[in-house]
């Protein structure tokens, strides 16, 4: 069972990715003028051409992250990201030139970021070893899942601190009782923008994502909520998204209702009898693990006699979301758009 602190096991499928807008991430005309590839910062904290990370005003910056307090005397200049969603966030903020390594891609990269992503050295297909990360000589390691800093694999945050390397963990994996919302996504982006001395870029990115969510939510306002079952994985039982995860709010914002929103976990197991009882009209399939994964899941669901009368199965109403689309990162806004289109095709174009 997924414990909410590390990546869902690769043997249990998780989340797929939306059909993305052709438009690139519009970070604002000012950002584009500044040049997303620049790694320097001007005296006003905006992207500049100086190439000197320490030239940004507003430093030192102190950030408390998952119980770890870090003071940055200047913006990080050599960053390793572990997992795809922190890598895409940094690229969307125009920080490619500060990235010296990444690892553990979950799904196809956003088309508008693909070229920059491919330019970043891939340290490992899964989580890299502590020694591999050290070889990249980073001054910061940014982890996406809790497993980025797995103590039993020698990658604890303390181990990096002892080696003189700062760490930052995606806030979704800090734990806590409240659960995760879109506000966490926006706060994550702004915090990372602050750490890197590019707050204006972060604000522009947040504004773009908020516009996407607002537009999709407005289009389905007044529509009846569509019951949605999230199928992550499982055969004897169903591994699904509970009410504590971001996935549940994405469904709500898109004009749906997670049929297991009352499950007081990020993820949890439910019985197939419960799925039948709750009569979902749409099944959201979380996709990862590469080609063929989604089709295998659909084949399984359609082949179960017990599920034959479930409206979503009977009508073959499936929506596929990539793993990275349901995490605290830049893709969650895209997930709201694609869910809204799938749940209310008559209202969303």
- For 162-212, the pLDDT digits (tens) are 999 999 999 988 876 678 899 999 999 999 999 999 999 999 999 999 999
Weakest-pLDDT range from 27-31, 118-122, 182-186, 220-224: 27-31
Q: For residues 18 and 320, which has the higher predicted lDDT (pLDDT)?
A: 320
More confident residue, 266 or 149: 149
Q: Homologous superfamily of 224-343 in CATH? A: Nitrogenase molybdenum iron protein domain (3.40.50.1980)
Q: Which two structure tokens, joined as six digits, stand for 169?
A: 């963990």
Please say if the pLDDT value at position 130 is more than 60.
yes
Instruction: Retrieve residue 52's tokens.
Output: 């000197």
Among 286, 324, 255, 344, smallest CA distance to 117 is for 324
Do 224-343 and 29-210 fall under one CATH topology? yes
Q: Are 148 and 172 in contact (CB under 8 A)?
A: no
Q: pTM (2 decimals)?
A: 0.82
Q: How confident is the model at residue 293 (pLDDT cuts 50, 70, 90)?
A: confident
**Cα-based torsion angle of the residue sequence 326, 284, 27, 32 in order, rounded to the nearest 10 degrees:** 110
What is the second-level CATH architecture of the domain 29-210? 3-Layer(aba) Sandwich (3.40)
**Mean pLDDT, rounded, for 276-296:** 89
Model pLDDT, residue 288? 82
Q: Is the model's pLDDT at 341 over the cut of 90?
A: yes
- Of 52-66, 162-176, 287-301, 332-346, give the lowest mean pLDDT range: 52-66
Per-residue pLDDT at 195: 98
Domain regions of the chain by residue span: 29-210, 224-343
In this prediction, residue 34 carries a pLDDT of 41
Q: Whose CA is closest to 143, among 198, 89, 197, 75? A: 89
Closest by CA to 137, choosing from 100, 103, 173, is: 100
The pLDDT, as a whole number, for residue 185 is 96
Mean pLDDT of 46-56: 43
């Amino acid at each position: 069972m997924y414990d909410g602190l590390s990546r869902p096991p690769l043997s249990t499928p998780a989340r797929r990715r939306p059909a993305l807008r052709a438009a690139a991430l519009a970070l604002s005309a000012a950002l584009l003028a500044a040049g997303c590839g620049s790694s320097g910062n001007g005296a006003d904290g905006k992207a500049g051409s100086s190439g000197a990370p320490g030239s940004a005003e507003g430093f030192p910056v102190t950030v408390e992250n998952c119980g770890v307090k870090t003071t940055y005397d200047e913006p990080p200049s050599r960053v390793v990201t572990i997992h795809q969603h922190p890598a895409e966030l940094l690229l969307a903020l125009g920080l490619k030139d500060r990235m010296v390594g990444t690892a553990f891609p979950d799904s196809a990269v956003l088309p508008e970021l693909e070229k920059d992503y491919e330019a970043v050295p891939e340290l490992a297909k899964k989580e890299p070893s502590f020694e591999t990360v050290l070889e990249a000589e980073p001054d910061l390691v940014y982890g996406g899942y809790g497993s980025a800093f797995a103590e039993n694999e020698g990658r604890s945050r303390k181990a990096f601190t002892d080696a003189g390397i700062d760490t930052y963990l995606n806030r979704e994996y800090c734990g806590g009782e409240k659960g995760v919302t879109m506000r966490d996504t926006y706060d994550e982006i702004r915090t990372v923008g602050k750490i890197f001395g590019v707050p204006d870029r972060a604000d522009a990115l947040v504004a773009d994502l908020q516009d996407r969510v607002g537009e999709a939510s407005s289009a389905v306002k007044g529509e009846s909520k569509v019951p949605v079952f999230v199928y992550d994985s499982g055969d004897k039982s169903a591994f699904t998204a509970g009410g504590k995860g971001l996935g549940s709010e994405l469904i709500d914002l898109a004009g749906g209702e997670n049929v297991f929103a009352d499950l007081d976990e990020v993820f949890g197991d439910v019985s197939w009898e419960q799925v039948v009882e709750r009569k979902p009209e749409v099944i959201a399939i979380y996709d990862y693990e590469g080609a063929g994964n989604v089709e295998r899941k659909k084949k399984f669901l359609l082949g179960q006699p017990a599920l034959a009368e479930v409206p979503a199965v009977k009508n073959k109403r499936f929506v596929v979301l990539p793993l990275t689309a349901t995490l605290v990162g830049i893709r969650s806004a895209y997930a709201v758009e694609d869910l809204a289109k799938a749940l209310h095709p008559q209202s969303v174009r």
